[in-house]
Structure formats: C-alpha cells, structure tokens
C-alpha cells in the first residue's frame, strides 16, 4: 500500500490566488513527521515545511501552511498569494519512528502551474 | 557553502556499461541516501548509510551497489546498466536523529540525470 498519496498529478492556479495541494498518508505509528519539498524546473529539492504528529498547531512558514487533519490522515499544503515562481513540482513525504536510517518516504508529487 | 554535491550531473551509458555516481557532503552529516526519481513515482530510496563503513538497502536496491568509505562521501555504482535504470538520481544527507523528534530535513544534491540506451 502507498504510504504517501498525492492524488493531483497537475494543478493550475491563478497568480495571487491561494492553492491547496493534497497529501494523504498511511501509518500505524502515533508518532511521525510530515514534510513538503518543492522542486522547480532547475531540479533541486527545496525543503518547505514540517509538521510533527504531536504538534498542537498547524505549521506555517511564510506563505506556506500545512492543513493537518490527523484523524483523516491528511497533510495538505496551502500556498497563499501564488506567485509565478511557485510553479514547480511539490512532494509530500513522511518519516516514521523506528526507522533505522531516518529516511523519508515520498509521494508521487503534484505539478503546480501558476498562470499570470 | 557547497552542501551536497553530486558528480556527474549528466551521463549517457550503453546497456551493460558500468559507472559510479559520487556524492560528497560538507555538513558532517552521519546519514546519507541515494534516491531515484521517475515520473509519477516520486523519489524512491535505493540505498542508505547511517555512518562511515555502513550501508543498507532501501526500497529499490536491485542493480545498484554503494560504498561509504569516508564519512563525507557516498558512492552509487551500476555494474551493468539497463534501460530501466534511466532516471534522475538524488543524493541526500541528514543529521543523526537518535531518539527525540522526527524533525530534521534531508539536504539534497542537485541530481544526476542518467540515460541508458
């Protein structure tokens, strides 16, 4: 079974509007970490935001916020006031405890395209 | 501040040829990883290392070998390349997170695009 599912292969958003990128996850551990990365066309992976399963509040970093709904096992990324530079691939990832290598498991990604 | 550096950035191989991808990090991280990225499949872990001299298999290890002779370097080898290994390869590193929080992002290199004909 997929541990991280991103159901939107591609999305369009108008510049200056907000957009939500979906991410659902599957784990039986009560403790886990959720990450979002951005991959622009240049190819590098840029860390955006982190949410811990026990964090009381939803994570925010500038224009990025994480809509964390634990009961639904979803960790959607919200980008406010979209900019042309937000056009990129976005990956959701999870780290589970008892993970000898501290590795991240990634979803398939969502390609976001911002229209001027 | 270089971070994680991968060489080469691009390579074209013929089926059956061998090659090695080199990853170097200057952040004194304990953990290093090799992922491959394929369209629609995100990043999948090939091998990883939790310290100098140690390696372990990830999700898709077949056809690859790795070595971590020095803490700062993590090598990925293809002994006999196949077209199915055409992909973009990413090296990453992270601090050791023994116990404690699950935070601690992976730091990635810029990727190496490999084409096997």
Interchain pair B50, A100: CB under 8 A: yes
Question: What's the pLDDT at A45?
Answer: 96
d(CA A81, nearest CA chain B) in Å: 25
Question: What's the pLDDT at A1?
Answer: 63
Question: Cα B78 vs. chain centroid, distance in angstroms?
Answer: 12
Q: Is A97 on the interface with B (CB under 8 A)?
A: yes
Question: What's the pLDDT at B39?
Answer: 85
**Cβ neighbours of A17 (radius 10 Å):** 12
Nearest beta carbon to residue A107 from set B42, B97, B107: B42
Give the residue on B whose Cα is nearest the Cα of A96: B102
Please give chain B's pLDDT, 117 residues, in tens.
679 999 999 999 999 999 999 999 999 999 999 999 998 889 999 999 999 999 999 999 999 999 999 999 999 999 999 999 999 999 999 988 765 557 788 999 999 999 999
Question: What's the pLDDT at B102?
Answer: 74
Question: What's the pLDDT at A100?
Answer: 77
3-state secondary structure chain A: CCCEECCCCEEEEECCCCEEECCEECCCCCCCEEEEEEECCCCCCEEEEEEECCCCCCCEECCEEEEEECCCCEEEEEECCCCHHHCEEEEEEEECCCCCCCCCEECCCEEEEEEC
Q: Is A25 on the interface with B (CB under 8 A)?
A: no
Please give chain A's pLDDT, 116 residues, in tens.
679 999 999 999 999 999 999 999 999 989 899 999 999 999 999 999 999 999 989 999 999 999 999 999 999 999 999 999 999 999 999 998 877 788 899 999 999 999 99
Interchain pair B102, A95: CB under 8 A: yes
Question: What's the pLDDT at B1?
Answer: 65
d(CA A55, nearest CA chain B) in Å: 11
Give the residue on B whose Cα is nearest the Cα of A41: B110
Identify the contact set of chain B against chain A, taking CB-CB distances under 8 A: 31, 33, 35, 40-45, 48-50, 56, 58, 88, 90, 92, 94, 96-97, 101-108, 110-111
């Amino acid at each position: 079974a997929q541990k991280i599912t991103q159901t939107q292969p591609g999305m369009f958003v108008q510049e200056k509007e907000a957009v939500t990128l979906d991410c659902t996850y599957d784990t039986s551990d009560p403790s886990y970490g959720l990450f979002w990365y951005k991959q622009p066309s240049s190819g590098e992976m840029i860390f955006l935001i982190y949410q811990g399963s026990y964090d009381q509040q939803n994570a925010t970093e500038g224009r990025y916020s994480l809509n964390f709904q634990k009961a639904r096992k979803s960790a959607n990324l919200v980008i406010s006031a979209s900019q042309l530079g937000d056009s990129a691939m976005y990956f959701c990832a999870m780290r589970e405890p008892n993970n000898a290598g501290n590795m991240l498991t990634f979803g398939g990604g969502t390609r976001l395209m911002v229209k001027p | 501040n270089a971070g994680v550096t991968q060489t080469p950035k691009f390579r074209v191989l013929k089926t059956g040829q061998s090659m090695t991808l080199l990853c170097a990090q200057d952040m004194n991280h304990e953990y290093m990883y090799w992922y491959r990225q394929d369209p629609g499949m995100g990043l999948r872990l090939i091998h990883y290392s939790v310290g100098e001299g140690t390696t372990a298999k990830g999700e898709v290890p077949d056809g690859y070998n790795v070595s971590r002779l020095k803490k700062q370097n993590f090598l990925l080898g293809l002994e006999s390349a196949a077209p199915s290994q055409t992909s973009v390869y990413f090296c990453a590193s992270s601090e050791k997170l023994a116990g404690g929080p699950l935070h601690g992002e992976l730091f990635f290199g810029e990727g190496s695009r490999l084409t096997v004909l």
